[in-house]
Amino acid sequence: MKLLRHGPIGSERPGMLDAEGRVRDLSAHVPDIAGAVLTRAGLDALRALDPGALPVVEGQPQEDLRLGACVAGVGKFIGVGLNYADHAAESGMDVPTEPVLFTKWTSCIAGPDDDLAIPPGSTMLDWEVELGIVIGDGGRHIPEASALDHVAGYCVVNDISERDWQIHRGGSWDKGKGHDGFGPIGPWLVTTDEVPDPQALRLWLEVDGQMRQDGSTATMVFGVAALVAYCSRFATLMPGDIITTGTPPGVGMGQKPPVFLRAGQVMRLGIDGLGRQCQRVTG
């Protein structure tokens, strides 16, 4: 299934994408794409529905029908740094011996095609296409061997980062990762039955039509199962929590010389089978 949230900012409604690419409304069946809806039992209940019997939502998704973030009520938005060896190299950092974790504040979450406003004082605004893991059944101290059983599905994430705040302002990375709009997720959550191997997905990002990132989740240092298990050592994972898994090389900070986003530029990004995003940078 491809689950989504459609409608104006702050008034999104739950939905699913049918086989013809139309949005079907789920409001009569679930309050939102959140919480218990994302557990195995919740997803099984949605699978039992006949999409053809659900109301069609007027408009073409991501054209004249806005999509919101594909998950609501996210409790934790966990980031993983330097999880591609070649990205670590372009950042001038060692490949980590265990996952580097940081947080993206949930107030940064945005729709997949919402404009990105440059924050006041920002000078080093950067892009990062990433595979997002959406937790279904939660847990603590989850064994790696069963970690994928705790995943509801996957989505595209743009881990937008302000490098000056991240690197030069002291403390953890969080200051450069959690500003409003820095976490577009979606367009939809694709359930695990449609993603047979999360370590075999192409992910890409372009700025103003120029390809900047073109990689594969096959080159992740720590794979999806390892990350779910690892994160669950330090916090109880809950339905709807998101883990964003790192980015391949090609970020602006890694260009020679470095290149950062400017007002008027457009980012387009996507992951095979998971959809695409498009964000215009505004002043």
Q: Express each pLDDT in 53-80 by its tens digit.
A: 999 999 999 999 999 999 999 999 999 9
Q: Could you tell me if residue 16 is inside a domain?
A: no
Q: Is 99's pLDDT higher than 90? A: yes
What is the structure's pLDDT at 196? Answer: 95
pLDDT level of residue 130 (50, 70, 90 thresholds): very high
On average, the pLDDT of the chain sits at 96
The pTM assigned to this predicted structure is 0.96
Token representation of residue 244: 């964003």
Q: Is 171's pLDDT higher than 90? A: no
Q: Could you tell me if residue 17 is inside a domain?
A: no
What is the structure's pLDDT at 91? Answer: 74
Amino acid identity, residue 18? D
CATH number at residue 86: 3.90.850.10
Alpha carbon distance 230, 133 (integer Å) = 13
Q: Could you tell me if residue 38 is inside a domain?
A: no
Q: Could you tell me if residue 249 is inside a domain?
A: yes
pLDDT level of residue 141 (50, 70, 90 thresholds): very high
pLDDT, tens only, 238-267: 999 999 999 999 999 999 999 999 999 999
Q: Is 93's pLDDT higher than 90? A: no
pLDDT, tens only, 147-169: 999 999 999 999 999 999 999 98
Angstrom CA distances, 110 to 66, 133, 197, 248, stand at 12, 16, 27, 22
What is the structure's pLDDT at 85? Answer: 81
Number of C-alpha atoms within 13 angstroms, CB side, residue 158? 39
Q: Are strands 242-244 and 189-191 parallel, antiparallel or unpaired?
A: unpaired
Mean pLDDT score, 96-104: 95
pLDDT, tens only, 212-230: 999 999 999 999 999 999 9
Whole domain around residue 186: which residue ranges?
Answer: 71-282
250, 259 in Cβ contact below 8 A? no
Total domains, the chain: 1
What is the structure's pLDDT at 86? Answer: 77
Alpha carbon distance 281, 262 (integer Å) = 7
Helix residue ranges, H only, the chain? 40-47, 85-90, 163-168, 224-231
Alpha carbon distance 81, 87 (integer Å) = 9
Q: Is 90's pLDDT higher than 80? A: no
Q: Could you tell me if residue 116 is inside a domain?
A: yes
Q: Could you tell me if residue 3 is inside a domain?
A: no
Q: Could you tell me if residue 236 is inside a domain?
A: yes
Q: Could you tell me if residue 222 is inside a domain?
A: yes
